[in-house]
Amino acid sequence: MIIAIVYAIGDFVSQKTKAIFSMLFVSGIIFMIGFWLGIPKTLFEDAVIVKLALALIPILMVHMGTLMRLKDLQEEWKTVVIAFSAIVFAGVALFVIGSPIVGREYAIPAAGPISGGVVATLIMSEAAKSKGLETVLVFLTLLLVLQNFVGLPIASICLSREGHRLRDIYRSGGVSIDGAPLKSEDNSMENNRKWKFIPATPKELQTPFILIMKTMLVGWLAVMVAQLLGGVIDKFVMALIFGIIFYEIGFLEPKILTKANSEGFTLFALLVPIFMNLSKATPSMVISLIVPIALSFAIAVVGIIISSVILSKVFGYSWEMSLAIGVCCLFGFPGTFIVSQEVANAVGETPEEKEFVLTKILPKMLVSGFTTVTIASVFLAGFLVKLI
């Protein structure tokens, strides 16, 4: 109940501010302060929802694959370049500018959580632990806990501006985000599958249980294949890939969890792993490290802004869209998914406008999030860890 109340407050603020203050940002602030004021730090474990949340991640990833057309993903190579460049510039800025300002012992490890999240942070933490740098371990934990509060507001503001621009373009029948003329084709995606050979499930059989079963089956297959490959491809990334493939061949319906009336509850559980880390951020820890934390974020964001603005000119994106792509490394999935939905719902006044805005920003945000959090950040951390 407590978790639901916090989510509801976050959603209320997000709606009232037109997604300028994201639901994730507002909820995160409430949870962190709540833990300080006495909410049990075992809140999420006591709610018996943690294991369910982790189990549902591949399921939602498969659902994500049914939201995008393969044709759209093939066009996102520019997004990959922007995302990679953003974390490289952030790492370079921390190394060159941050080292003399906050100290090398903070600046270099900071690139781990700032560039991507948990795995990159673990790489940096193991190196710091082996050298007995206890303060750096706390510093890294706080960066990981607080990075959403930096990345999400920036992305939300940028996407809100971009969403209004796209909505106006849709109304005027102008050009799309990267200059291509808009088409009058149906945006429902039903008839845009590249490899479809499996007949559609009869509508009378598209029941919640059957749709959920199909989604779970594909998610389970993805996890099994990822394990067989020895983890070369992250199981969540594999689930997204399988979702796209099985949607394209016709096995999965578009927006399958939405059709199964299950998307909302899945997201409810999925946010738990994000907010669990906030129980670690005590007031004394935050106060003692607030200056190096603030400076590290500021320096990294400057690097991301420089890279994103430059590449927006090169690729013909708006600087708002490019910067939103660049800061995805600060929060990743499911933030990329949620903030995109929030913005589309806030700026669109009709279902068609909401659909148009979402289909223009969501693929870019998803690709950027996975590019940075699951791939690029690990490589960057693996390189920088040698410099600690």
Residue 306 sits at the vertex; the CA angle it makes with 300 and 312, to the nearest 5 degrees, is 130
Task: With CA atoms as reference, report the closest residue to 65 among 174, 189, 172, 179.
Answer: 189
Amino acid at 279: S
Strand ranges, E, within 87-151: none
Q: Mind listing the pLDDT tens digit of every residue in the chain (388 residues)?
A: 999 999 999 889 887 876 667 787 788 889 989 998 989 988 988 988 888 888 888 898 888 788 766 666 577 889 989 998 998 899 889 889 988 998 888 888 888 788 776 667 767 777 777 777 777 777 887 787 778 788 888 999 999 999 999 999 998 875 444 444 444 444 444 556 667 778 888 889 999 999 999 999 999 999 999 999 987 776 877 888 898 899 989 899 988 998 998 888 888 887 787 777 678 777 887 788 889 989 999 999 999 999 999 999 999 999 999 999 999 988 877 788 888 988 999 898 888 899 899 989 988 998 888 777 756 666 676 676 666 6
What pLDDT shows up at residue 310? 96
| Residue ranges making up the domain that contains 122 | 2-387
Domain count for the chain: 1
pTM over 0.85: no
pLDDT value of position 378: 63
pLDDT of res. 381: 67
Coil vs helix vs strand at 17: coil
Half-sphere exposure of 351 (CA within 13 A, CB side): 3
Cα–Cα distances in angstroms (integers) from residue 312 to residues 92, 319, 323, 328, 361, in the given order: 20, 5, 8, 15, 15
Supply the pLDDT for residue 93: 92
CA gap 382, 385 in Å, rounded: 6
Query: Distances in Å between the alpha carbon of 185 and those of 188, 190, 347, 349?
Result: 9, 11, 22, 20
The gap from C-alpha 166 to its chain's centroid, in whole angstroms, comes to 21
- Per DSSP, the residues of 283-296 read HHHHHHHHHHHHHH
Give the pLDDT confidence score for residue 19 in this predicted structure.
Answer: 60
Q: Measured between alpha carbons, how far is 56 from 113 in angstroms, rounded to an integer?
A: 24
The type of residue at 9 is: I
Give the tokens for residue 297: 């974020």
Per DSSP, the three-state class of 181 is strand
